[in-house]
Every structure is written in C-alpha cells, then in structure tokens.
Structure 1
Amino acid sequence: MSDYRDPLESADDRIVAGRAADGDAAAFAVLVRRYTPMMRAYARRILSGTADVDDVVQDAFITAWGQLPKLDDLGRVKSWLMRITSRKAIDRIRATRPRADLEGIDPPAPDVSAPARQAEARAGVAALSDALQELPGSQRECWVLREIGGYTYEEIAEELGIPLATVRGLLARARKDIIVRMEDWR
C-alpha cells in the first residue's frame, strides 16, 4: 500500500485554480472534491432541500470549467464558485415557478372615452388647476417644474435661483396644500 498523496490536494486555491484554468482536468477535479460539499449545502439552502441540488452543483461546475480562464483573481475561486452555485439555484427556482398562460386572456380595455369618464377627468383637471392657482407663486412654480416638468430638485433650485433647501420646503408645503384641496378627488 502506497502513502503517495497528490501534491495538488494540499495546494493553495490559487495554484489549483491556475492549473485548472490552463486545462488541467486533475486540478479541476481537486476543486470539485474540495468544494462540492459546501456548494451542495449552499444549493440545498436556496432550493429548500429539493432533488435539484446535485443538478445545480453539476451545472455550476460545468459553467466554472468553461469560465475559469476568465477569472481575474484565481485565489478567490471559492467565492466565485459559490456565486455560480447561487445563480444556478436561482435559475432553477425561476424555471420551475408556475406561470400563467396569458395567451388566451384578452382583458377589456378601460373605457376612457365614455362621456362620464371624460367629464370626470375634466372636472379633476379643473379642480387641480384651481388648487394650483390658490398656491403662493413660488410654491406653484416649484410644483409645476417638479411634477409637470420633471425637473430635479437641483434643476429647480438652479432655474429659480434659490437654495436647494428652499426648494424642498416649497415643494413640501405645495404638496401638502394640494393634498388637502384635492381630498374630495381621492
């Protein structure tokens, strides 16, 4: 009986991964033996102990074998393998998630052109217009630039030549006032 031990078995991850990246299948086998238990445990946690654990780990190693030459820091092969395992497990969950067939469903479009809906929309716009007219000018300017113009707070401050904190305060007061005035339209 021989006491020979493969030096790769005790070698640093960087060395083993480097040899595997160069196409050494024996070195890759060392990585497989070294990290399979950890990857299986990790996949089992993500997949809640399903039978797909071994398939996920195998898929992760297949991906790793093809991508290993692209790994920048070979010393981080362990965390890299765990990320691959995580992605493969999540992909497996996504693949088995039930999906509704939306092909046969044709929901009716909302009838926005109905006279009652148009009248309601016009009344809402008129109420908002009235609420805006009752705001002080600086609040109205800030509100219109933000909510209608889509300006950022910084852009409003620059446009109106006022401090950013003032913009925030004016907008807060304007929004509060409009919410109170538009209460009936909620």
Structure 2
Amino acid sequence: MRDEALVGLSSDGDPWAFGELARRYAPAMKAVASRLGPSLADVDDIVQESLLQAWQRLDQLDDPAAVRSWLLRLTARKAIDHARRHKSHDDVNALTSVSAPTPSPDSAAVVSAGSQALARALADLPESQRTVWWLREGADMSYEDIAHTLGISVASVRGRLARARHTIMTQLEEWR
C-alpha cells in the first residue's frame, strides 16, 4: 500500500495503517537517532517518542507522500533535543565500518584506523556542523529537510555542510 493511502487511513484513526508506516520507516528513524542521539540505549526511546508525536500530529502533515522525510525530521529534532539535554557525544566512536566479508588482518587494521580517524574528525567538528553532516550523510535528508528540522536557512545548511566536509577532508588527508 502506498504511503499516501496509509497516511489517509492513519489520519482517520486506523492503528494498523500507522503501524505499517512505523514498520516501514522505523529502521531509517533508528539510523537518524543513533547518529544524533547521545547514546545507543536511548535510540528506541527517541524513535518511540517520535512515532507517538507523529500519531498525535498526523493532521499537520501537508503532503502525505512526504511522510518519510516528515518522520525523519521529527526523529532528528527529538534526537537533537535529547543530545542537547545530555551534552554527550561519546557514541561518535561507535561508527560502523564497511569491510570485506573476511578481511585480512592488515586490511582490518586499515579499516579500523580509518574509522577511528573519521570518528575523531567528526568529534572535533562543532556540534552545528556535525549535526548537519549526519543529517545529510547519515540520514540522507535533503538540504530543505535539514533546514526545516534545524530551523535554519538552506544557505546555512550548505555553508555548515561545506565547512564540515572541508574540515573532515583536511583531517583525513593521509587516508586519500
């Protein structure tokens, strides 16, 4: 069933339809929350709070076809608020690395060192740049969605993202 139909049914109070939306988009919501939230233990709570808020505010969704980006924006806001309350970014080091199915010890060491270097570069970014970077690269949100989520202009999103990318590339120069 298409998103638009599920949103319509959910707006009419159908819990099954909303459950389908939740099952469809919860993995992406968890990905956003895990990148922006202070700890992995809080991810499920952030997603659950976001889904509850979405259920309560479904009538505020202007375009039913955009339900995915709307849910991701709600989740990002919740995760950012949660991170600000707790002021901890220890989970930046919990990056998942992509490697060969059975890497050699040498290649595993290189991938691990590269992941650690990226984690350090991200940790060194100002919070505003790190947040924009995660929303774009981790959650694959559009510039417009990021701007709406953070309450800033699209130009600010572009600027923060450009500065973040430049800083990361500079710090990871040896990995090119």
Q: Larger relative CO (CA 8 A, sep 6+): 1 or 2?
A: 2
Which has a greater percent of helix? Answer: 2
- Tell me the TM-score range normalised by the shorter chain: 0.3 to 0.5
TM-score, normalised via structure 1 length: 0.45
Q: Which has the larger radius of gyration?
A: 1
TM-score, normalised via structure 2 length: 0.48
